[in-house]
Structure 1
Amino acid sequence: MTKTAIHIDHIARIEGHGNVHVVIEDGVVQTVEMNVVEPARLFESMVLGRRFEEIPYIASRICGICSASHVVTDLKAIERIFGIRTTDRTKALRELLVYGSYLQNHASHLFVFATPDFVGTKSVFLLAETNPELLQKALGLKALGNELCTKVGGRSIHPITAVVGGFTHEISAEEYRELADKLEASVEFAVETVDLFRSFPVPDIATEGDMLAMVEEGCYPVQGSDTARFLKAGIEFCADEVQERVEEYAVPHSAALCARVRETGAPYFVGALARINASWSHLSRNAKVAAAKAGLRPPEPNPFMNNVAQAIELVDALERCAELCRRLAEPDGFDGESKPVSFEARAGRAVGFTEAPRGAVFHDLELDERGRVVHASMITPTAQNVANLEADMRLLAERLVADGSGQDEVRRSIEKLVRAYDPCLSCSVH
């Protein structure tokens, strides 16, 4: 019997720490494990007994990239419990805040983490030597995301201006127009990014799992809806039903909590690829053209195409944010003010739901009559993705072994797949 063990003892260029363990016996893949070795984060315990005002600021520390999404997710849950109706202007500002984190994350992931896989370098530092102009444009896009988050949220990470019922501060009309100009000027590079990533060859595999994304009639939603859909199973549900629809479970080889569709038992994928599969027809004009040119149309089951999907979302986010900024600069651009509305704390339970850069986020909060947390459950994108990633790693390994690929090729390809998922392994543990 011939037995081969492939160990990747630290996957580079991702957020957090994880290992991969693959065992092949007589040409048959026996074991494929994603070992997340992060310690428990305990954020759900941290918020117990805290008043509602503190929850968004604590939860934002779950992730330095998705912090805006965690804040907005908590605000949505709290406002639903209190019966608060926010204004259109507040909703527009929250959209800008979430999209700012898309620019931050996608630019960093694509050019710092993923690109070295396809250009023959081991790190972005070598890319800086071989193509400094490309890297500078990419970092400029990341900086623009930082600026957008700072202008809207008060700082580039862990926003402070977004509060229950509205915002504590807004920038001037002139600053909105300046932001719009910068966003529009970056669209051309984002379109080039789509072309670049579509030109990279990737293995032709199709995930066997499902996909989950926020959906809303006539929209490409990232925070404005409370409806989620499992695309393959065709199951649509309100965020308040997430515990009945999503089953979280533990496995002995990993510290991460895994997730599957409760009705079907299938693992599933969240993120840019899931969103584009769900709402392709509602992309902005240039994003839709770029997607069609890149050949990314629903249904697209190849998880490696998540890189291309993120590049398409860069185009989409830039165009949407520029339009939002120009409307916010006008006195009658949106109904209502962004100042926090009045409300009274009361007991209740609700689930907040947003689309973070890496995928769907659910915060299930229960408050007592004083507005203090008595129960919390926070489901992050990577926690939902780990089981599907592991299944796709097995699928890829089996395909490569059947084609006669050697250990080095199996190892490199699995690492590429992990990075294509854009995981945050630190966020995958509760």
Structure 2
Amino acid sequence: MTATCISVDHVARVEGHGDIRVVIENGEVTTCEMAVVEPARLFESMVVGRSFEEVPYIASRICGICSASHVVTDIRAIEAVFGVAVTDRTEALRELLVYGSYLQNHATHLFVFAAPDFLGHKSVFPLADTNPDLLERALGLKALGNELCTLVGGRSIHPITAVVGGFTHEIEAAEYRRLAEVMDASRAFALASVDLFRDFDTIALETAGDMLAMVAPGAYPVCTSDTARFVRAGYEFAAAAVEEEIEEYPQGSSAAFLARARRTGAPYMTAALARVNASWDALCKDARYAAAKASLRPPEYNPFANNIAQAVELVDVLDRCAALCRRLADDEFAGTSAPVPFAARAGVGTGFTEAPRGALFHRLELDGDGRVRRASILTPTAQNIANLEADMRQLAEKMVGEGYDGALIRLEIEKLVRAYDPCLSCSVH
């Protein structure tokens, strides 16, 4: 019997800690595991008994990149309980806040984590020597995301101005116009990024499972819809039904729960690629053109294409944020962003947003004083792990069948893991 064991302890260039284990015996893949080895962080228990006013800021500590998404998602869950309807202006500011984290995340993932794989480097540091302009401009995009979150949310991570019913502070019109100009100036680099990742060679692969994304008619929504769609299965469900539609289950090799669709039993991917598949027609014109030029059109189920999808979203985000900033400066949205009045009451509410890495659900049960009785958080990475494992197995089997050696199989599996852009720390919330 001949056996090859591919073991990667603490996969590099991902957020958090995880191990890969693949065993190939007599030409067959017998074991394929993506083990999350982070300890449980217990955020769902931590917020029990806390006032609704504290909960969004506690939940934001789940992630230093997606903290804005966790705040907005928690606030939407609380507002669902209290029956709060916010103004159009508040909705626009929330979009800006979430989009700031997209710029932060995608620029970091694409150029610090993913690009070295395709440029023959083991880390980003050689890239800083060989192409310092590329890295400097990429970090400039991340810095723009930081600035956007700071100006809208009060600081670059763990925002403090977004509250139930609105915002406690808003910048002046001139600042919005300046931001719009900076975003316009950044668009050329974002477009070039799509071309860069389009030209990287990847193995032909089709994900084993489904794809999940937020949808809305004629829109590319990130925090303004309560409807989710399983793209391949072709059905939609309301966010309030998430526990009836998505099943979480334990697996002995991982500290994180895995997820699958209850109706089909299928694992699924939720990410930029899922959003592009679900709402390609609603991308901004430049982003849609860039996607088409990169041959990224629905249906596209190669998980490696998530890198290109994130680059396309950089173009889309810059266009959308520039437009939002100009409309905010010109006072085109109805109402103010000041918090609307409301009263605490008991009930259950679900918040749903598209975090940079994919669909994010927060479900809260509050008592009559607005204190948490129960909390449930479903992060993108926790949803993705089962599908990632299935794709790892499929990739390994394909490469074994084509005669690749263990070293190349290991490299491509690591590239696949990074293409998913996992945050393994978030998966053990």
Q: TM-score, normalised by structure 2?
A: 1.00
For residues 236-286 of structure 1, give each alpha carbon's deviation from its aligned partner in whole angstroms, at most 9, with x where no partner exists: 100000000000000011101100000111000001000000000000010
Please tell me whether residue 75 in structure 1 is matched to residue 68 in structure 2: no
Match of 2:175 in 1: 175
* Partner-residue secondary structure (3-state), 2:158: coil
What are the within-5 Å matches in structure 2 for residues 376-387 of structure 1? 376-387=375-386
Matched to 1:185, the amino acid is A
* Partner-residue secondary structure (3-state), 2:23: strand
Q: Note the C-alpha offset of 1:350.
A: 1.0
The CA distance in 2 between the partners of 1:396 and 1:10, in whole Å, is: 20
Match of 1:188 in 2: 188
What are the within-5 Å matches in structure 2 for residues 152-171 of structure 1? 152-171=152-171
For residues 106-160 of structure 1, give each alpha carbon's deviation from its aligned partner in whole angstroms, at most 9, with x where no partner exists: 0000000000000011111100000000000000000000000000000000000
Matched to 1:248, the amino acid is E
Q: Note the C-alpha offset of 1:190.
A: 0.2
The CA distance in 2 between the partners of 1:362 and 1:325, in whole Å, is: 27
What are the within-5 Å matches in structure 2 for residues 285-296 of structure 1? 285-296=285-296
Which blocks of at least 5 consecutive residues in structure 1 are unaligned?
Answer: none
For residues 327-384 of structure 1, give each alpha carbon's deviation from its aligned partner in whole angstroms, at most 9, with x where no partner exists: 00013x1000000001100001011000000000000101000000001000000000
Aligned length, in residue pairs: 429
* Partner-residue secondary structure (3-state), 1:12: coil
Q: Note the C-alpha offset of 1:10.
A: 1.8
Matched to 1:184, the amino acid is D
For residues 190-244 of structure 1, give each alpha carbon's deviation from its aligned partner in whole angstroms, at most 9, with x where no partner exists: 0000000000000000001000000000100000000001111112100000000
Q: Note the C-alpha offset of 1:291.
A: 0.3
Q: Note the C-alpha offset of 1:3.
A: 1.3
The CA distance in 1 between the partners of 2:224 and 2:96, in whole Å, is: 12
The CA distance in 2 between the partners of 1:112 and 1:201, in whole Å, is: 18
Q: Note the C-alpha offset of 1:393.
A: 0.2
Match of 1:137 in 2: 137
The CA distance in 2 between the partners of 1:243 and 1:144, in whole Å, is: 36
Structure 1 runs (4+) deviating above 6 angstroms are none
Match of 1:403 in 2: 402
For residues 5-46 of structure 1, give each alpha carbon's deviation from its aligned partner in whole angstroms, at most 9, with x where no partner exists: 111112100000001011111111111011110000100001
Please tell me whether residue 372 in structure 1 is matched to residue 358 in structure 2: no
The CA distance in 2 between the partners of 1:220 and 1:122, in whole Å, is: 35
Matched to 2:128, the amino acid is A
* Partner-residue secondary structure (3-state), 2:53: helix
The CA distance in 2 between the partners of 1:416 and 1:142, in whole Å, is: 22
Match of 2:328 in 1: 328
Q: Note the C-alpha offset of 1:4.
A: 1.3
Match of 1:42 in 2: 42
* Partner-residue secondary structure (3-state), 2:286: helix
The CA distance in 2 between the partners of 1:2 and 1:167, in whole Å, is: 63
Match of 1:202 in 2: 202
Match of 2:273 in 1: 273
Matched to 1:344, the amino acid is A
* Partner-residue secondary structure (3-state), 1:378: strand
Q: TM-score, normalised by structure 1?
A: 0.99
Match of 1:128 in 2: 128
Match of 1:218 in 2: 218
Q: Note the C-alpha offset of 1:429.
A: 1.3
Identical residues among aligned pairs (%): 70
Match of 1:263 in 2: 263
Match of 1:251 in 2: 251
* Partner-residue secondary structure (3-state), 1:425: coil
The CA distance in 1 between the partners of 2:6 and 2:185, in whole Å, is: 46
RMSD: 0.5
The CA distance in 2 between the partners of 1:87 and 1:209, in whole Å, is: 38
* Partner-residue secondary structure (3-state), 2:326: helix
* Partner-residue secondary structure (3-state), 1:10: coil
The CA distance in 2 between the partners of 1:355 and 1:327, in whole Å, is: 22
For residues 281-331 of structure 1, give each alpha carbon's deviation from its aligned partner in whole angstroms, at most 9, with x where no partner exists: 000010000000000000000000000000000000000000000000013
* Partner-residue secondary structure (3-state), 2:373: strand
Q: Note the C-alpha offset of 1:64.
A: 0.4
Match of 2:18 in 1: 18
Please tell me whether residue 310 in structure 1 is matched to residue 305 in structure 2: no
* Partner-residue secondary structure (3-state), 1:228: strand
